[in-house]
Amino acid sequence: MAYGLTDSLKYDRFHVVSVDKAAGTMRVRGEAEACTDISCGEALVVTDEGTSHDLERLNPGDIVTLEHHEGRARQIRVVRRAWEEYSSPEW
């Protein structure tokens, strides 16, 4: 479903709760405050440092957007790092 800008910021961003690098999965929390497990096997991870298929680039607390289908991530884009979240003027 396509959202407007405000709804997109609300519904398409997730907080990373945990990352299981060995299993290739991550748990994220969305707007509804419910956690979802996502399979990230071959997902492309996009950060300020570049792109990779390595889940090592993800940290609990990071805010991400996902391109996913049926519980499998295709692309994970880090929007804000965990350490940047608490230094934001929004707090």
Q: What is the pLDDT of residues 25-73, one digit of tens each?
A: 999 998 888 898 999 988 999 999 999 999 999 999 999 999 888 878 9
For residue 63, what pLDDT is reported?
94
Q: Is the pLDDT of residue 6 over 70?
A: no
Is 77 in a helix, a strand, or coil? strand
Q: In 3D, which of 21, 26, 22 has the Cα closest to residue 63?
A: 26
Is 41 in a helix, a strand, or coil? coil
